[in-house]
Amino acid sequence: MPLRTDYDYYKRGIVSRFDVDSSSYGTLRAYGSLGVKVQADMEREAILRVINSLRSKRALDVGCGLGRYMVFTAKRLDVVGLDISVNMVRAAKQTLKNLDIVLADMEYIPFRDSSFELVYSIRAMKYLSNQAKFLREARRVCSHEGCVLLYDIWNAKNVSYLFSETCLRFMSILRPHDFPPEMRRMNHLLIKRTLEQWDGCEVQTRGILFLPLLIYARTSSRSLLRIFTIFDKLLSRLPFSQYLAFSVLYVAIRR
């Protein structure tokens, strides 16, 4: 089946980037620092806690990469992976030999309506030029009593973002090639409203990370990282955490 996609210049750049990164994506070498790995582990813990609490049987991992989340969800769910990078799909299939992984554009999910009880996407939406289109596709392939779970960074409506954006703009002047334009800002209201248009859908939001990513990335002290982790976990329990957080977890459940 051919890859269906709006294959414009922007999207070709994304595919090329992940084709190159496929050998190390998600490994300690790709993280670049202990702080970023600690941050990723904290994200995974929060996300898998939600996934494990759901009564799903069949799941779709959209933008699965090398399948690092599929490894865990496959222990209790029948999971299928989807990614736009040929090299990512090839590398994931070599590692996860017993799991199904398809090559496809997440804006054109090649499955029938209501094919999965859980559709989740981790850190992939920020690469999309049309986030609303993917949200509609995710809802379409999710069953009538299913769940759409989304997580990403670069939430544009929070305190941490404003601080980090100021730092990034300053640093991009000094090192313009280090900050690719494809890092799209998350629009909290767009995501929430699009998901709520799904009949009978209850949308729950929760902040996960509150400290700017650069703070984690620049920290190598295990003691400081432990303090950062405790700080982030405490703030994530607040009822308005999504408005303070740098990254947000969305759980849309259709009752």
**Per-residue pLDDT band at 10 (split at 50, 70, 90):** low
Q: Is 188 helix (H, G, I), strand (E, B) or coil?
A: helix
Q: What is the pLDDT of residue 193?
A: 83
CATH 3.40.50.150 fits 9-254, yes or no: yes
Model pLDDT for residues 189-210, shown as the tens digit of each residue: 778 888 888 877 889 999 998 8
Cα three-residue angle 96-100-105, rounded to 5 degrees = 110
CA distance 140 to 203: 16
pTM greater than the 0.85 cutoff: no
High-pLDDT (> 90) share of the chain, %: 45
Record the tokens describing residue 90, joined without a space.
């090839």
Would you report the helix, strand and coil content of the chain in percent, each value rounded to 5?
Answer: 45, 20, 35
Strands 142-153, 78-83: pairing is: unpaired
Q: What is the pLDDT of residue 190?
A: 76
Q: Is 147 helix (H, G, I), strand (E, B) or coil?
A: strand
Domain boundaries, the chain: 9-254
CA distance 109 to 3: 10
Q: What is the pLDDT of residue 177?
A: 46
Residue 156's Cβ-count burial label (10 Å; 0-12, 13-18, 19+) is: middle
CA distance 121 to 147: 12
